[in-house]
Structures are given as structure tokens and as C-alpha cells.
Amino acid sequence: MEIFENKVCVITGAGSGFGLELARQAARLQMKLVLADIDPLALEASAAEQCDQGVEVLAECVDVSQPDQVERLADRSFERFGAVNLLFNNAGVAIGGYVWEHSPADWQWVLGVNLMGVAYGLRSFVPRMIAQGDDSHIVNTASVAGLISPQMMGLYNVSKHGVVALSETLFHDLKAAGATLGVSVLCPAFVATGINRSERSRPRALSEERPPTESMEAARRALDQAVQAGRLDARAIASVAFDAVRSSRFYVFTHPRILGAVALRMQDIVEQRNPSDPFSARPEHAPR
């Protein structure tokens, strides 16, 4: 996909972080925008900013963990613009700590947004995008945590490994179906996006009244430190994502130095070794 002007771009999690920068990048390219977010105030601000750039914007308050809301998003997108050319399944949340300490509500919240949000996006948009028969593309936001398994990030790791597997399978399924729809999976490392403050958007029905455990606090401190130390910002990640769409690149890595940890995990699997510490090459990112 090389021409973006007047094409239609749908972005979930568009009120902050990667989503906000993706919206800004799409607006600079003069795309028509469908912006979705669970936070109505952040969504309103993002939509107003992009409208000021002279582009047409449809804003929808959406909880991507709810399939009926994602289906409504697709309905309204196609009703308004008649097509969707670029879909960013981007909404995401995070929580850390020892994997055995997470409550059922924790699992339902994180998997509901990070994994099922992508699955519902594919379910609602892919058939219609295939039917268009034009040059279109989907980008699913995963993480390097979808390719390695850092300690005290088990729930997040599971969700992002799922997004990578789902994206890879989508790539193969589209090929088997003879569809020309492009796919990318975005795998950034630590970036200042606000994901370390995910609890602000947690639904009340899935709230957790118990205080955080020591491991959860340690994971939060480590995430704060890693995010602050990140050398790339969300705008740079958005630029990389659009470059991947232009070149039809599937695996999108924004921090090449992390590939050593990915290769180490693959070697562990092939050689049937016990899992290596994924932070052994970058100890400054290890939870403390």
C-alpha cells in the first residue's frame, strides 16, 4: 500500500500513545480517519486535533473487548466512508507481577483488550476489506513481549504472544483464501506511551480491590524505568509502522537490539534448552 491520501484509516486506542501518533501520521498523509478509544475525553481531544488538520474524522467510543462494540465500529466506518483501507488494531493495556498472582478479573481485562480486541477487529473488518478487492492493509500491535517471555510480565506476554500467533495465522489464511489484504505485526520494545498507567481505563466491572502484591509493584517500577529509558518515542514508532505498510513488511521491529533476545529464545527452542533469561543481554531492563 503506497498511496494514502483520501484512503480510510481505522485506529483503535487512538486517544493516546501509539494510537494518537498513528492518527497524527495518518492526518499528515491526508487520510480519512475513524478513531476509536475507551476514554471519551482522550478520544475527543484526538479527534479535534486531527480535524484541525483538515481531514474528515469519525470518532467512536469503543471498548474493544466487547464484540458488539467492535462490530458497531465496523458498521459505522463502512456506512460513513464506504471502505476501510488501513486498520490498526492497536488498543492495549498492561499489568505485571508473578503469573500466579493475577486474579480472574486481571486475566479477563488484559486478554479481553490485547488479544480478543484484535480477534474481534479481524472478525468485523477482514471480510469486508477482502470484499473491496483493493490495496488494503492491517497492522496488529503486539510487542517484543510476543516473541520473548520476560519475568513478571506473564499475563502481558500471553496476550502479546497470542497477537503474534493470530497475525501469523491471518497472513497464512489470507494467502490460502487468495486475498490480497496485507498484514503486519508491530513489535515495539519499551516506549513512553502511557501503557504503564493502563489501570486508568480499566472497566469498573473488572476492577481489583485488593492491594498490589510486591511482585506487581516491582513490575510496575521496572516498567516505569524502562519506559522512561526508551530512546524512541511514539511518533517514531508510528513512522516505522507506516513504512512497514508501504513495503508490505510483516514483522515490524522498532528496536533492533532486542532481536538478540528473540534469537536466544529461538535457539533455546531448537536446541531444547531450558529458557534463558531474556534480559541477560540487557540487564538494565530486568525487573527489580
Which pLDDT value is given to residue 286? 45
Residue 252 is which amino acid?
V
Q: Which residue has the cell 490460502?
A: 176
Q: What is the mean pLDDT of each run of 10 residues along the chain (288 residues)?
A: 94 95 97 97 97 96 98 98 98 93 95 98 98 94 95 95 98 97 92 58 78 79 60 84 97 90 95 90 47
Q: State the chain's mean pLDDT as an integer.
A: 90
* CB contact set of 141 (below 8 Å; sequence gap of 6+): 13, 18, 88, 89, 90, 91, 92, 163, 186, 188
Which pLDDT value is given to residue 84? 98
Q: How many residues does the chain have?
A: 288
* CB contact set of 94 (below 8 Å; sequence gap of 6+): 110, 153, 156, 195, 196, 198, 223
Predicted TM-score (pTM) of this structure: 0.91
Query: In terms of Cα–Cα distance, which of 45, 42, 46, 16 is closest to 33?
Result: 46
Our CA dihedral for 93, 259, 165, 191, rounded to 10 degrees, sits at 20
Confirm if 65 and 202 have CB atoms less than 8 A apart. Answer: no
Catalytic residue among 98, 120, 156, 251: 156
Taken in order of first residue, the domains within the chain and their CATH numbers are: 8-285 (3.40.50.720)
User: Is residue 251 annotated as part of the catalytic site, yes or no?
Assistant: no
Q: What percent of the chain has pLDDT over 90?
A: 75
